[in-house]
Structure 1
Amino acid sequence: MKKTLSFGLAVVAGTTALGSQAQEVQDTMVVVGSRTPTEISQIPGAVWVVEKEELQQQISTGADLKTALGKLVPGLDFAPQGRTNYGQNMRGRSVQVLIDGVSMNSSRGISRQFDSIDPFNIERVEVISGASSLYGGGATGGIINIITRKGEPGGLKLRTETGITTGFNDSSDLDYRLAQSASGGNERVQGYIGVAYQDNGRHFDASGNEIFPDIAQTDLQDNRSIDVLGNLSFNIDANQTLSVGAQLYRSGYEGDRGVYFPNLDATPANLDDAEIRDGYSSDRDPATDRKMVNLQYHHADLLGQNFYLQAFHREEEASFQAFPYSVDDGYEFRASKQNTDLSGIKGLFDAQLSDNIGLTYGLDLTREQFDADQMFFDQAIADASGGLVQEEASIGPRYPGYEVDTIAAFTQADWQVNEGLKLSAGVRQQRMDVEVDDFKGIPGGENDYDATLFNASALYDYGNGHQNWLRYSQGFELPDPAKYYGKSANISVAENPLSAIETDQVELGWRYRGGDWMTQAAIYYAWSDKAVENAEDLSVTVVDEKKRDYGFEGAVTRYFDHGFEAGGTLHLVRSEQKNDDGEWEKRDARYASVSSATAFVGWSDLTRSARLQANHALDLEDAEGREIDGYTTLDMLLSQQTDIGKFSFGVQNLLDEQYSTVWGQRAAMFYSPFYGPEYLYDYQGRGRTYSLTWSHQY
């Protein structure tokens, strides 16, 4: 089999793949663990892949990217549905999201990693569960790598897709999308370009009520996005390949509906009785703008070793919605814009020292730069319009700017002890130098911190499709310098260095692929002795707090005759923290993950398919009595392949369940009552919607 070389993490489990793929997946080559091509049977960990067909199946029901992944990947929480993916953890911890190996995470915790690419340009999504240090900070719960589409040798290939989604609640309740790609090439050069456009209308809950905008983190109502992605791949010679890719992505609000507050000029002013009205306009609308370039080079025989080199640059602007802050004479509206530049270069050697011993080692260098400002809106105009009209009065700093330079060295060794047993171990040493700017009279400064992370694993292959593994691994997350510094002159940069918050994890897993079954399951236990917490004013503090998450993650698919299949996923997680009395108690519901399950039945032949899928989030209650109410939704998809393309009809939330999203319930805990009444932040789930999609390749 020819190796598919990708700097992105590639992993495979494909629990919802077509039955014909059940046997083929055994031989798939993936990139995981040591970031080099590896057979699935050699991976000591719970790994999953969502192929483009599976992803498009979910998208055809009207789901966005993070919603689709939440239903397909065990261990990943269900999606918040708005623009943010805050709290969409894996195994109760944070997840690192990458596109072709380039991290969408940053030291500043802006949770928009999935507001980054249109699913039309995605080849597959690859996931590894559990703590990992493969690509640096942010992967205490796992890694999700989005692999983009590439060109192939052959003539010009075109692909067109268009679709609409509506709940038939109102003329404004309509989403539509249009996408086009072209690819082709020869044995020396291959190219791909894809352009995808999506325009969303207003959204309504199951009761037929227009959903209040997410004024805290922004949502995707009246949102327009365009994703332009292209790449060129060069086969330089028998040993060398080069790939150059670029992306332009914009996702932003384009509507005229906003929240009207009737009591802004009352005495005293308050945020009660708000409603949604026409007439909104603002000098700063919610948006995500991203530019990225990515270069990957591979040499198959450099000093007798495989050599991989990657260089990349990512620029991102994240703008937020006008938000009401309480001041002495009422409420003042402000909206921030936060800018991140990330550049890096990564080099890796893969050496085969003997027939049964392999060694991977390398060096990563990155530089991250951040700055943020805040637009203040004219208070008199805002009060007179009930907050609908936001005209710029001034711009000031929002957070202290900073620069983080990182250097990391790593090595990973594998030993195939005998035909069944494989042992692996590795270490990553990462050092981060932080330089923080002065902020509102508070002096900045410099400091540094580091993290040393280990992993060790044993994998046993019984030779009959069954495998077991035992793995210990460490990952870490970074405290947010922008929110940690600049809030008080008492927290000086020089005397209060940041520290990496490390997570340790042990995992025992099993998988079986063969015949009519595809299964994978793992039990895990993760712990740490520090945590990042939000204060009432939403600044962050690093506290000495023992935290642990443990649970079960699994998926199964059974293939039957005549194209039928059935299966599901299950993630049971319990998050706990140690209190002042030294006893373990349920973790704060604002941070704890919610257990979830899915179940599906499906049928397909060469031209038609049908799928019915149930999604269930369990209830959660913490030690203080704060609750997150679970919910159950049902989705249905039908498709028909014809001579003029494929038609897909999907229904999301088939039973029209009325529910509050997990993010909406968390947001109410975060922002209310300090920033206003609870109803302003309790973001509701969308009611029943119908989607019709047509796609054609020619």
Structure 2
Amino acid sequence: MKKTLLSLAITSSIAPFLFSSVAIAHQSADKNIERVVVTANRTQTAISDIAGTVWLVDLEQIETQINAGVDFKNALAQLIPSLDLGSQSRANYSQNMRGRPMMVMIDGVSLNSSRGVSRHLDAIDPFNVARIEVISGSTAVYGGGSIGGVINIITKEGDGNHEFNVGIKSGFAGHDDLGTNLAAATSWKNARSKGRVSLAYSQIDAMHDGNGDPIMMDTTQSGLQYTQSLDLMASTTFKINQQQSISMLGQYYNNESDGKHGLYFGDNSGSLFGDMTGVGIRAGLESEHVPQTKRSLFNVDYQHLDFFGHNLNIQAFMRSEDFDFYPRPRLNSTQDAISSFSSSEQSTDAYGFKFVLNKKWQAVDLAYGFDYDSEEFEALQTYYDPTIAQASGGLTI
């Protein structure tokens, strides 16, 4: 399936007559420094000039949540008002803003697709996040996918420092109740350019609840138990002159199951018919498909601060992603036999560019331009022998 979209956007604001409801998640230590965001109008805009509710979540608050053992999507739910809490799965299906769907972006590149699979927040390691800009409520600037709001994840830039991070998490509920994180980054910065290269790896084994009992895997969107993730990112900014600059970002992200552990449905898959004896997570999974989120992203952003009296932004991007889902059973109409055992996968390729001009005339702030987006996706459903799958309790498929 292929989708192509060309849209024209014009927004304006008249400063003296608009009420700006602004909330900042963390105030700058220097009160004289005006915080600037790019999400609200697609150009650098001082928070005090934005007519709308904008939340700015900075690195310190993100790190506080992550270091306490909270996963990324639930850390955002703690920090962003009106954002629902997420589940223990890799999906953010249950998370809405103000009760409506939201758009998630990385440096202005949307992760939403025409066929949404709710893995927008399974997209980046928190180690690579500098801050998060949030528009609360619907906005015409980004189209229909943002009726609940926009979450724009801003990545770290080169500052000349080197980073190294090691983390271990455990609930002491067993030998495999362990999560580890390892991340490193190097960066440079001079008068003309800056850049950063980073590698972040994490591994999660078993998960347990407050009573010490194992948390069962989600066989709909798949859980995060027994998974490994890798986030490789490189970015650079080159200053052409005092008015012009160009930035580039490349990312490869992969979060997948270890391919060894799966949900055992009991002897002869009895749990599917009401007998929960022996149900649990076991090693020994044999399947052609394992849950996975794999994404490649490339973004180029050009800025001219005085283009015939305008602020000009041109952005070109490419996003390619593959989603695999856990094999799951389906019962027949009478609920007394397995009708099928299958898993699905989806591949999406999207690219486009954005052209935005911004001009201020005293009290009037006008932004206008156009977007071009093209998207193609393929979906595949793989069916397995239900007899073999049932006899193995769902482990051999």
TM-score, length-normalised on structure 1? 0.51
Kept in 1, the 8 Å contact 2:243–2:304? The answer is: yes
Q: Does 1:15 align with 2:34?
A: no
Counterparts of 1:453-472 in structure 2 under 5 Å?
none
Q: Which runs of 5+ in 2 are unaligned?
A: 1-20
* Rounded Cα–Cα distance in structure 2 between residues aligned with 1:81 and 1:280: 21
* Rounded Cα–Cα distance in structure 2 between residues aligned with 1:12 and 1:219: 36
Q: Name the SS of the counterpart of 2:82 in structure 1.
A: coil
Counterparts of 1:576-595 in structure 2 under 5 Å?
none
Q: Does 1:225 align with 2:232?
A: no
Kept in 2, the 8 Å contact 1:264–1:330? The answer is: no
Q: Name the SS of the counterpart of 2:38 in structure 1.
A: strand
CA deviation profile, 1:611-663 (whole Å, cap 9, x unmatched): xxxxxxxxxxxxxxxxxxxxxxxxxxxxxxxxxxxxxxxxxxxxxxxxxxxxx
Q: Displacement, 1:32?
A: 4.0
- Shift of the 326–54 alpha-carbon distance from structure 1 to 2, 3 Å rule, reads same
Q: Which segments of structure 1 move beyond 6 Å, counting only runs of 4 or more? A: none
Aligned partner of 1:279 in structure 2 is: 284
Q: Does 1:77 align with 2:84?
A: yes
Kept in 2, the 8 Å contact 1:12–1:126? The answer is: no
* Rounded Cα–Cα distance in structure 2 between residues aligned with 1:181 and 1:370: 33
Counterparts of 1:299-698 in structure 2 under 5 Å?
299-327=304-332, 330-352=338-360, 354-390=361-397
Aligned partner of 2:115 in structure 1 is: 108
Q: Name the SS of the counterpart of 1:227 in structure 2.
A: strand
Tell me which moved more, 294-303 or 327-336: 327-336
* Rounded Cα–Cα distance in structure 1 between residues aligned with 2:362 and 2:54: 26
CA deviation profile, 1:244-296 (whole Å, cap 9, x unmatched): 11000000100533222235477x97363133333222110000000000000
* Rounded Cα–Cα distance in structure 2 between residues aligned with 1:89 and 1:54: 21
Q: Displacement, 1:372?
A: 0.3
Q: Name the SS of the counterpart of 1:389 in structure 2.
A: coil
Aligned partner of 1:182 in structure 2 is: 186
- Shift of the 252–269 alpha-carbon distance from structure 1 to 2, 3 Å rule, reads closer
What's the Cα RMSD here?
2.0
CA deviation profile, 1:285-330 (whole Å, cap 9, x unmatched): 0000000000000112222211110000000111000010124853
Aligned partner of 1:146 in structure 2 is: 153
Q: Displacement, 1:37?
A: 1.6
Q: Does 1:209 align with 2:244?
A: no
Q: Which has the higher contact order (CA 8 A, sep 6+)?
A: 2
Q: Which runs of 5+ in 1 are unaligned?
A: 1-10, 391-698
Aligned partner of 2:48 in structure 1 is: 41
Tell me which moved more, 186-195 or 169-178: 186-195
Aligned partner of 2:297 in structure 1 is: 292
Q: Displacement, 1:239?
A: 1.2
- Shift of the 335–200 alpha-carbon distance from structure 1 to 2, 3 Å rule, reads same
- Shift of the 16–320 alpha-carbon distance from structure 1 to 2, 3 Å rule, reads same
Kept in 2, the 8 Å contact 1:213–1:259? The answer is: yes
Kept in 2, the 8 Å contact 1:270–1:330? The answer is: no
Q: Displacement, 1:162?
A: 0.5
* Rounded Cα–Cα distance in structure 2 between residues aligned with 1:269 and 1:104: 35
Per residue, is there more strand in 1 or in 2? 1
CA deviation profile, 1:42-71 (whole Å, cap 9, x unmatched): 112111111111101100011111111100
TM-score, length-normalised on structure 2? 0.89
Q: Name the SS of the counterpart of 2:63 in structure 1.
A: helix
Q: Name the SS of the counterpart of 1:48 in structure 2.
A: strand
Kept in 1, the 8 Å contact 2:57–2:79? The answer is: yes
Counterparts of 1:46-125 in structure 2 under 5 Å?
46-125=53-132
Structure with larger Rg: 1
Number of residue equivalences: 372
* Rounded Cα–Cα distance in structure 2 between residues aligned with 1:179 and 1:14: 29
* Rounded Cα–Cα distance in structure 1 between residues aligned with 2:127 and 2:365: 37
Letter in 1 for 2:326: Q
What fraction of aligned residue pairs are identical, expressed as a percent?
40
- Shift of the 363–381 alpha-carbon distance from structure 1 to 2, 3 Å rule, reads same
Q: Displacement, 1:202?
A: 0.4
Letter in 1 for 2:77: G
Aligned partner of 2:172 in structure 1 is: 168
CA deviation profile, 1:68-117 (whole Å, cap 9, x unmatched): 11001111111223201012011111110000000011111210000000
* Rounded Cα–Cα distance in structure 2 between residues aligned with 1:134 and 1:81: 32
Q: Name the SS of the counterpart of 1:337 in structure 2.
A: strand
Kept in 2, the 8 Å contact 1:179–1:194? The answer is: yes
